Structure 1
Amino acid sequence: MSLTFYTNPMSRGRIVRWMLEEVGAPYETVVLDYATTMKAEPYLSINPMGKVPAIVHDGDVITEGAAICTYLAEAFPEAGLAPMPNERAAYYRWMFYAAGPAEQAVTNRSMGFAPTADQQRMAGYGNLDFVVDTLEKAVSAHSYLAGERFTAVDVYAGSQVAWGVQFGSLPKRAAFEAYLGRILARPAYKRAGAIDDALIAAAASA
C-alpha cells in the first residue's frame, strides 16, 4: 500500500492533511511550490489543473478536497469517518453543499461579485446570505453535520466554516463558534496544523 499527499501548507491541502491525520494511515508528503513545481511535470500528470491538494493511493489519483475526504473515509473504514446508514443523507448533503454552493458563494464574494436578483435564479447558491443561514441551521441541528458523531464531512465542511469565520467571509455567529469548539479540539486537527505550520516556518527561514 502506498499513499502520497501533494500539497502546499498555505492551501486547501490543510483540509486533506487533517483528514489524513484522522485516518491514521502512513503517508508521504510532497510539498509543491505555487509558481514552479505545482505548474510543471511530474505534477501536471497527476493533476492537469496544477492545483493542490491531490493524493495518489496505490496508483489511483484523487483530486478535489471533498472527493479526497470522502474517498479516504471509505478507503480506511477502520477510522470510523464514513457515514452510518442513518447518517448518509445529511453526510452527502452537506459534503456537496460545502463543495458547491458554499464554496462558490464565498469565492464570488471574495472576488467582489454579488449576483443580482435576476442572476440569483441562475446561481446555484442564490446569494451569500442564504448560504450563511443554511450553514447555521446545519451546524445547529445536531452536534455534528451528519448527526451526533464526527465524520469526514466535519473535516471538509468544518474547515470551510473555520476559515470563513477566521478570515471574515462568514460571520462569527454563536452556532458557528459552538460547532468549531467541538471539531477543532480534535487531536488530529491539532497535529495536522502543527505539521503544516512547521512547513511554513521552515520555508520562511530558508
Structure 2
Amino acid sequence: MITLHHCPQTRSMRTLWLLNELGVPFQLRTYPFDRTLRSPAFLNLSPAGRVPALEIDGARMFETGAITEYLCERFSPDGLGTRPGSPNRMQWLVWVHFSETLSQHTAALTQQHVALREDHMRSPIVMKLEAARLGKCYAALEARLATPDENREYLLSSGFSAADISVGQAVYMSRHFATLDDFPATADWYARITARDSFAASLPNDDGIYDRDFYAPWPLE
C-alpha cells in the first residue's frame, strides 16, 4: 500500500502527478500548509516537517527526488524512469534534480509574496533577484528544448518521463512569479505536458497556497 502525504501547490504535487501517471493504487492524505506539518505525528513521517512524505509497504520516505527515483525504479524503470547504464540515464538524473533548483527560487518568492503578510517585511531586492534567477532556469530549459538539430518535444530524446513531471511541476509553481513569454520552446513543452490527464488530476481544488495567478516582483500589485 502507498500513502502520499500532500499539501496542494507544494513539491508533493510532483509526487502526486507521478503516481497518477504511473497508475498504481495509492491513498492521498491532504494537509493544510500550516503548523500541522510541525506536529510530532507528521515529524515522524518527515523529520524536517516538509511534504511530500510517502509510506510504502510499511517503510517511510521523504525528499522529492529520492521518492521520484524509487517509484520509477520500482514501477516504470524503462518508461518514466531510466535504468542505470541506459543512454538517457545521466540526463534523466540531471533534469529530475534540476527541478529543485527551480523550486528553491520559487520557495523564496512564495515566502516574500505570500508568507510575509506586510509590505515592510518584504525585500524588493530578494524578490527581483529570485525572479531573475527563475529566468536563468527558464533559459536553461529553453536551450535544452530548442536544440536546433532535433525536434525535441520532451526533456529526453526517448520521450515523456519523470524528468518532465519533476521540472514541469516546478514550472507550474514558478509561473506565479516569472512568465514563459520569452521562452517559446519551453512554453510549448509546458503546454504539451500539462495537457495530460495525470497533471489535471494533481491540481488543487480551491485550497492552494496562491490567491492569484501572478505576483509581480515589485512594486506589489
Structure 1-normalised TM-score?
0.77
Q: Per the alignment, do residues 108 and 139 of structure 1 end up closer, same or farther by CA in structure 2, a change over 3 Å counting?
A: farther
Task: Give the 3 Å change call, closer, same or farther, for CA 35–161 of structure 1 in structure 2.
Answer: closer
Q: Is the 8 A contact 2:145 2:186 kept in 1?
A: yes
Deviates more, 1:27-36 or 1:150-159: 27-36
> What is aligned with 1:51?
50
Match of 1:197 in 2: 205
How far, CA to CA, are the matches of 1:20 and 1:79 in structure 2?
16
The equivalent residue for 2:37 is: 38
* Partner residue, 2:144: 138
Partner of 1:197: helix, strand, or coil?
coil
**Contact 2:100–2:170 (CA<8 Å) still a contact in 1?**
no
| Counterpart residue number, 2:121 | none
Match of 1:113 among 121, 126, 131: 126
Give the one of 141, 148, 156 matched to 2:166: 156
C-alpha separation in 1, matches of 2:36 and 2:109:
29
Task: Name the counterpart of 2:96.
Answer: 95
**Aligned pair in 2 of structure 1 residues 76, 192: CA closer, same or farther (>3 Å)?**
same
TM-score normalised by length of structure 2: 0.72
Equivalent residue number for residue 76 of structure 1: 75
What secondary structure sits across from 1:51 in the alignment? coil
SS of corresponding position for 2:185? helix
Deviates more, 1:48-57 or 1:141-150: 141-150
Structure 1 residues 79 and 31: alpha-carbon distance in aligned structure 2, compared to 1, 3 A threshold: farther
- What's 1:104 paired with? 104
> After superposition, what is the alpha-carbon deviation per residue over 1:136-161, rounded to whole angstroms, capped at 9, x for unaligned?
11233421112241111111111112
Q: What is residue 169 of structure 1 aligned with on the other side? A: 178
Structure 1 gaps of 5+ residues are 117-125, 202-206
Q: Deviation of residue 170 (structure 1)?
A: 4.3
Contact 2:21–2:198 (CA under 8 A) maintained in structure 1: yes
Bigger shift: residues 148-157 or 11-20: 11-20
User: Deviation per CA, 1:1-46, whole angstroms, max 9, x where unpaired?
Assistant: x111101224222221111101111111112233343211211111
CA deviations on 1:47-96 (whole Å, 9 max, x unpaired) are 12111111111122221222222221112127821125121121111122
Number of residue pairs matched?
186
SS of alignment partner, residue 80 of structure 1: coil
CA distance in 1, matches of 2:38, 2:165: 27
